[in-house]
Amino acid sequence: MTKIALQQDRKLDAIVLGRAGVDLYARESNTDMADISGFNKFVGGSAANIAVAISKLGGNVGFIGCVADDAFGGYVKQYMSGQGINLDGMMTDSSGSRTSVAFTEMKPSDCTVLIYRNNASDLTIKPEQVDPEYIANAKVLVVTGTALSESPSREATLIAMEHARRSNTLVVLDVDYRPYSWRTDVDASIYYGIAAGLSDIVIGNREEFDMMETVLAPGNTDDDATADRFLRSNTQVVVVKAGEFGSKVYCRDGHKFQQGIFRVDVQKPFGSGDSFAGGLIWTLANGGELEDGVKHGTAAAAINVSGNSCTEAMPTKEQLFDFIETREKSL
Ligand SMILES: Nc1ncnc2c1ncn2[C@@H]1O[C@H](COP(=O)(O)OP(=O)(O)OP(=O)(O)O)[C@@H](O)[C@H]1O
Ligand SMILES: O=C(O)C[C@@H](O)[C@H](O)C(=O)CO
């Protein structure tokens, strides 16, 4: 079993950096966008999803991000506070930006997702708004990579990672690649490469690592080669997620393992990555082994994809361990 060393004497288990927005999920299942009668509203955004995931498991979690001074921004802050998330790092922008909004169908696969990020508030956060003391008070800094897609958020994200490194705060990069956020894959691979070099743990799926290797190894699809390439500089662990095929985990010392999935009745494919990250990071922040963290993340993801939202479908600690116990008994 593998232990990831981190500073335990910290006020916060984790701080998550990136977007917090609104998810509008189809009211009807298995219905095309054109035929949906309406939507159910939730808080979303990859970083907010991960923060809620950790909080619902019982973690003390903070946030670094920015929402607009509009009704959606107020809704997001109210919900996240209600979930017990510390918002000392949440900025509010009054320059006319807009809180990110995602519209989704509700189908087990081939789900349309439309995310409106025109002048997105989360990308307005500035380096001078990132507090190094706040980061020094957390065991883990979780960065969701879309925050790298535009300045000044790009610089704010990189300085946050530098602050974390200097204060021995573990750095996790969840790649969170959204192609429409980037001018080209070459641009993306450059900044993701810099961020990966500042990270202890890099979590991505095959498509995301393909993007990250656009310049370094175009056309490579071999996970082992990808892991070898990114297990450099500060990076101790690379996790390659593979949807219903589970995940592969590679450690700097050569140890590697695979984790299969927990089979469920899937309502939607998305949210799996954020819940996986939340379960993994919560486990590590509480001194758990890497293997257990990946199992917990895998179970949290299965629970989430069988639900009808992201944030609200994140499991509590009791739900997570009941799910695992029930499934393991039936093996
Ligand atoms: N259909 C499924 N059933 C059960 N577990 C799943 C399913 N799809 C994904 N998972 C679990 O979730 C983990 C992460 O999912 P995935 O590989 O899809 O990440 P992702 O591409 O970041 O997802 P997304 O961006 O859609 O949230 C997988 O490694 C697996 O453990
Ligand atoms: O990450 C986002 O901005 C949208 C998510 O909250 C949403 O649940 C999703 O993952 C759709 O793909």
pLDDT at residue number 328: 83
Domains identified in the chain, total number: 1
Q: Give yes or no for residue 270 CB within 6 A of ligand 2.
A: yes
Decide if 4 is inside a domain. no
Side-chain half-sphere exposure of 21, counting CA atoms within 13 A:
24
Question: Given a cut of 90, is residue 210 above it in pLDDT?
Answer: yes
Does residue 93 belong to any structural domain of this protein? yes
**Averaged pLDDT, 213-225:** 96
* Residue 189 alpha carbon to ligand 1 centre in Å: 22
Distance 99 CA to ligand 1 centre (A): 26
DSSP reduced 3-state for 125: coil
Residue of the CA atom closest to atom 2 of ligand 2: 45
Q: How far is the CA of 45 from the centre of ligand 2 (A)?
A: 5
Whether 330 has a pLDDT exceeding 90, the answer reads no
Residue 2 lies in a domain: no
Digit-coded pLDDT (tens) for 76-92? 999 999 999 999 999 99
Residue 118 forms part of a structural domain: yes
CA-nearest residue for atom 5, ligand 1, is 302
- Ligand 1 site: residues with CB under 6 angstroms? 205, 241-244, 246-247, 261-262, 264, 266, 269-274, 276, 298, 301-302, 305
Q: Please answer whether residues 24 and 58 qualify as being in contact, where contact means their C-beta atoms are separated by less than 8 angstroms.
A: no
- Residue-number span of the structural domain to which 193 is assigned: 12-329
Within-domain flag for 6: no
Tokens representing 238 are 């690379």
Distance in Å, CA 324 to ligand 1 centroid: 17
Q: Look at residue 331 in the predicted model and tell me its pLDDT.
A: 59
Q: Per residue in 286-328, pLDDT tens?
A: 999 999 999 999 999 999 999 999 999 999 999 999 999 998 8
- Residue 27: which residues within 8 A CB-CB, separation 6 or more? 36, 37, 38, 39, 40
Q: Is residue 76 part of a domain?
A: yes
> What six digits make up the tokens of 21?
């927005």
Q: What ligand is nearest to the CA atom of residue 123?
A: 2
Q: How far is the CA of 31 from the centre of ligand 2 (A)?
A: 18
Q: Which ligand is nearest to the CA of 177?
A: 1
Q: Is residue 204 part of a domain?
A: yes
Q: How far apart are the first and last CA of the chain?
A: 22
Nearest C-alpha neighbor of 156 from the set 146, 167, 148, 168: 148
Residue 167 CA to ligand 2 center (angstroms) comes to 31
- Which pLDDT score is estimated for 87? 98
Residue 167 sits in a domain of what CATH number? 3.40.1190.20
Task: With CA atoms as reference, report the closest residue to 278 among 304, 240, 307.
Answer: 304
pLDDT score, position 307: 95
pLDDT at 329: 73
Q: What pTM value is reported for the model?
A: 0.98
Nearest-CA neighbor of 57 among 76, 79, 84? 84
CB of residue 49 inside a 6 A radius of ligand 2: yes
Cβ of 52 less than 6 Å from ligand 2: no
- Determine the average pLDDT of the residues in 166-192: 97
Q: Which residues contact 198 (CB under 8 A, 6 or more apart)?
A: 158, 161, 162, 164, 165, 171, 173, 233, 234
The predicted-structure confidence for 14-24, as pLDDT tens digits, reads as follows 999 999 999 99
Asked whether residue 71 is domain-assigned, the answer is yes
